[in-house]
């Protein structure tokens, strides 16, 4: 079992991520807490890029619970049919929009319990909304954060909840608000699933991953050969 991170190493780990990206932001495009909630629900098993492409046209038409309910499930499906599991997601978005109107005055609630009571909203989605919309220091563990936490060894766990609790315990308070963003972006662009970019990783010396990738070997130098001498009898072009 890899050696656990010391408090000093954890501080250094997040200090470097913070230095490389001082103001991390969600890559989902949204206008308000409600559109953020919808975007996160749509992003399950989908890319942020794919969700943004769909919501670019959806949100100007249905950017509030009332407008979304008016659009209806069939209308919503037309906007999100390029996203995986779109039928079930359309059903959940309409249902959660109705519940927001009926129980929360069309406002997105600010507690995990109330958020998780909404159709299609689990712990991860609730944590994203609390963090991004309401500046709560929550950590939503997706596949990227789960991989980074286990691969680096900073917060290993057998499932997302175990990793979340481990991160909650070890991340210094002054880094918690942005820890979710740093870890997910690090996993998305540096600590990738198939072939991590270890040579460019700012925490590679702290990482416990044994099979780090290395810089590709430099191409062998090629010997330049001089072009063959022009035969004495060859005519110049145009002569």
Q: For the chain, what are the domain ranges?
A: 7-24+139-200, 33-134
Architecture of domain 7-24+139-200: Orthogonal Bundle (1.10)
Whether the predicted pLDDT of 170 surpasses 90: yes
pLDDT 10s digits, 84-127: 999 999 999 999 999 999 999 999 999 999 999 999 999 999 99
| 124 is an active site residue | yes
Q: Rounded to two decimals, what is the model's pTM?
A: 0.85
Q: Do domains 7-24+139-200 and 33-134 have the same CATH topology?
A: no
The chain-wide mean pLDDT, for the chain, equals 91
Which pLDDT value is given to residue 236?
39
Residue with tokens 């209308």: 75
| 21 is an active site residue | no
Query: Spelled out in words, what is the top-level CATH class assigned to the domain 33-134?
Result: mainly alpha
pLDDT 10s digits, 51-88: 999 999 999 999 999 999 999 999 999 999 999 999 99
Selecting among 21, 70, 124, 214, the annotated active-site residue is 124
Q: For residue 229, what pLDDT band results from cuts at 50, 70 and 90?
A: very low
Spell 105-144 as b/e; 16+ CB within 10 A means b: eeebbeebebbeebebbebbbbbbbbbbbeebbbbbbbeb
Check residue 64 and report its DSSP letter.
S
At 1 the three-state DSSP class reads coil
Selecting among 53, 98, 142, 159, the annotated active-site residue is 142
Residue with tokens 């070997």: 217
Q: Are 122 and 37 in contact (CB under 8 A)?
A: no
Phi-psi group of 106: left, alpha or beta (phi > 0 → left; psi -120 to 50 → alpha; rest → beta): left
């Amino acid at each position: 079992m890899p050696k656990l991170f010391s408090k000093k190493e954890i501080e250094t780990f997040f200090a470097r991520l913070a230095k490389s990206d001082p103001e991390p932001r969600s890559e989902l495009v949204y206008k308000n807490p409600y559109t953020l909630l919808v975007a996160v629900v749509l992003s399950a098993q989908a890319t942020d890029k794919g969700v943004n492409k769909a919501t670019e046209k959806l949100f100007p038409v249905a950017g509030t619970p009332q407008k979304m309910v008016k659009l209806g499930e069939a209308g919503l499906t037309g906007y999100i049919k390029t996203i995986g599991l779109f039928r079930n997601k359309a059903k959940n978005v309409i249902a959660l929009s109705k519940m927001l109107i009926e129980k929360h005055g069309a406002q997105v609630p600010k507690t995990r319990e109330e958020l998780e009571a909404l159709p299609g909203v689990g712990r991860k989605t609730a944590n994203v909304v609390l963090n991004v919309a309401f500046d709560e220091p929550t950590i939503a563990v997706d596949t990227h954060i789960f991989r980074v936490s286990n691969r680096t060894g900073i917060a290993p766990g057998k499932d997302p909840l175990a990793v979340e609790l481990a991160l909650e315990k070890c991340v210094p308070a002054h880094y918690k608000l942005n820890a979710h963003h740093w870890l997910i972006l690090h996993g998305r662009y540096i600590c990738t699933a198939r072939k991590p970019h270890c040579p460019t990783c700012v925490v590679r010396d702290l990482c416990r991953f044994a099979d780090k990738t290395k810089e590709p070997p430099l191409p062998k130098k090629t010997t330049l050969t001089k072009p063959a001498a022009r035969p004495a009898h060859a005519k110049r072009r145009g002569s």
